[in-house]
A and B are shown apart, each in its own frame.
Chain A
Amino acid sequence: MLKLFSLPLVAFTLLMINAANAKPLNIDVTEFSLDNGMKVVVIPDHRAPVVTHMVWYKVGAADEQSGKSGIAHFLEHLLFKGTKKIAPGEFSKIISRNGGQDNAFTHLDYTGYFQRISKDRLEMVMGMEADRMQNLVLTDKDMKTERDVVKEERRTRTDNKPAQLFSEQMSAALYTAHPYGIPIIGWMSEVARLTRQDAMAFYRKYYTPSNAILVVAGDVTAKQVKALAQKHYGMLKNTATPGPRLRTIEPQPIAARRVIMTDKRVSSPYMMRQYLAPSYVTAKGNEALALDILTEVLGSGTTSRMYKKLVIEEKAAVSTGSWYSGDNMDSGTFGFYAVPASGGDLAGLEKHIDAIIADVLANGLSQQEIDRARKVLQAETVYLLDSQSSLARVFGRALVVGQSVDDILNWDDNLAAVTQQDIKQAAAKVLQIRRSVTGFLMKSPAATLAGTN
């Protein structure tokens, strides 16, 4: 089997799926809160003398004010500038010369900062991370240079890549009102106008201990982490009250949408369909678990229904699959994609996918298919145990959107309770054409106008 394609949305979604599928076996997870409300999770792994230290903030791109798209991500960059104690640009250099690696990430619902380092430097990184939660110092010059960097990042990740622009257009069409339709990195025109004041206002509103979660995985005990966390994070006073995360509610979808994008830089076209779906947070009963099993059977790997039909039998596609992304706070997505063989047509692939969906709606899945899928999903959780940083990410991501440690630990058992009826109902609820966007990305004589400012 060849894995030639990493369509942007799909690659991204695979990570999401792993997260939802985390039911670590025999994992000793400790959870507690500091007096200021900061939550702490400890996941011991004593195989190597290193730790992964992460601070997650309950704020992401979907919390941005209208007109300020990209500010959450831009602020993430700016947190690597200075504080009252740390000179501009020194943060990562200090981590490096202590033998560590650091980075950060911004998503729709959260922003996270992490270091991977020898366990005897855990206290040092905690001190530094606690410091920049409250003492960020920003100059206009640093802000302007970094804004240029972010504009280059947007060109690198998005504007130079028609597939990524297409994915951005698909999301924008899927969400008519909810901010999940706005790209995390921001629209170029808005990024170009972000200011130091915007960044500082966002920082002051959201960066406070009660809005943060600490995750430490690696060669430590819960007792050690508790003492250090109390010392470095426990003494921080709350400086803001971010309040409940009330985003615009997406209205009931009433119109199937189509996105046709053409660009001369496309050399191999493809099609995609995505539906608004519940997420693990918003799902009722077993809906989210049922959708995880459904996507495993329909579109995961070479033994899936889609691959067998479109690639092996019909020879119409060279690659196809489905995904369920259920990790976000307000909404999930369920999607399908197919890449045609040379000269193949996208409309034909869409018909095949529609037939597969119609069959599921009429007949559901067989018990045998469900059992196979469940076994595969449960085995993935064993693979997850090999990596302390993956485990730290899984727990951080769950807690930051309001899931609990038990939701993750019980995932395996919960999966076992999903019935044929659950899957049929979830499919009927989600796979309605009015909830969907269908997109074709095709070659054309002209380039899409993008990112030229």
Chain B
Amino acid sequence: MATMNHVRLLCAVALFAGCVGSESTPGGKPGGTLAISIGGDPDVLIPSLVSTVQAAQMVDLVYDRLADIGDSLNVVGDAGFTPRLADSWTWSPDSLSIAFHINPRAKWHDGQPVRSSDVRFTLQSTRDSTLGTPVAALITNIDSVSTPDSATAVFWFHKRTPQQFYDATYQMPIMPEHIWKGIAPAAWRASEAAKHPIGSGQFRFVRWTPRTAVEVAADSANYRGAPKLARVVWSIAPDFPTALTRFLSGETDFFEVLRPENIPEVMKHPNLRVKTYRSLAYLFAQFNLRDPANHARPHPIFGNRELRRALTMATDRATIVRSVYDTLALPALGPTVRAYPTTDPNIRQIPFDLPRARLILDSLGWRVTRSDGTRSRNGRPLQFTLSVPSTSKVRIRLAVLIQEQLRQAGVKVDIEQLDFRVLVEKERKRAFDAAIGQWNTQPSPGSVRGSWGTPGSHASSGTNYGSYENPVFDAYVDSALASFDPGNARSYFTKAYETIVQDAPAIWLAEPRGIVGYNARVHLAPLRSDAWWAHIPDWWVAAGQNTP
């Protein structure tokens, strides 16, 4: 009948169009689905508030920055940066302002054009104390954004610094003013808009089914062109083993947090591959320097610098790292990574010296009095709780190893496993004793100001959870960041790192390499150290795989 022939014809045309419309790439047509295995939901999909790696991936695909940092991660000036929402920019002669020209074709996913007022709004909200973003402490050099016209956003700076451009672009994916203006910042997290983010990126948000999946789809009308993938889906598993098994069984294509012990397993599958890259992450066991019960007082145990140094001395960090990571991590040097050109790998460390640690503890008055070997002083045992997220087996392993090593020194450590978000809450409220944390740092070594500097301690939204405050450290870091000469910057940073290492506000544990596993059907682009997902728009999977 007529209708049937009509339908058949349409199908044939569709097939034919599929064949003709693709790019000519080797090994199959792109346009497939990339399925990423993750072990937990994102925390929030608002760019300035993101604190989990999962959320960062999703936000970076849906939202755009004015310009993207180059793969070399250069943060001085604008060398290497590629245009995004801003298709060009002009420096003022005195370098106190940069005028960004917004790409006229840039549109939000709801069709509205991207305007300079969006840029100004983003800066203002990122600074809003009621919103409480962790980034606020890092952009203090930016004075304001002015909008001479709807296509030009001018950033004004307090002073010239090497990282002006980086500060203006890296820290702030641009958010749509017309959507967020009407909502009070304090209500942003719980708002409906947070559950359906509208951005300008090459992928548009599709859905977030809690505990099951997050999905974004290609924005074919994007000003930068359509990405090679049709969809990206994050398959959320309740825990690491399930997430890993989904990857191994082929249900998903990509797994980002492979551990060294999983590699032999992955290599057994002929169609799975492993790739390592230099990441910008470091792990540490952080002490709360303030009394959790009363923030005005120092912590009864960790308030004492000598005791913290003794605890560090009692820990054999090199062995712990070898045990947990095999060769895929180095002992951390301090709150930094070796990838920074300003990091000197020969920073003076506190050596592993158990006998000396015991002597120091004795001299501080902590004597071994109890039957189980735990020290005590004035009736108070040398005992504390070490909190770790229950989802991170790596940190649990580190905790158990530390527990046993400190037991040798007469310190009793109780390990507390918590849901990741609950742990972050505890840290924000400074209601913990010690915790094992990990920072995936930014390309700029200046991010240490937020996590270990005094401003990050005072602000309730700051990430200096241990409340380490040393003006000498702050001064060195600020001097380093203000130096245009790389040699000077490096020597200032070295002094800063040595100061904090000797103060021992944390036991610096490991600097792991990033390890990802992927299915051979995924064609990767180079993995950027700070964000392996940065070039996902250039990845592709042959069409037909997991495609609806």
Say if A and B assemble together: no
Chain A positions within 8 Å of B, measured between CB atoms, are none
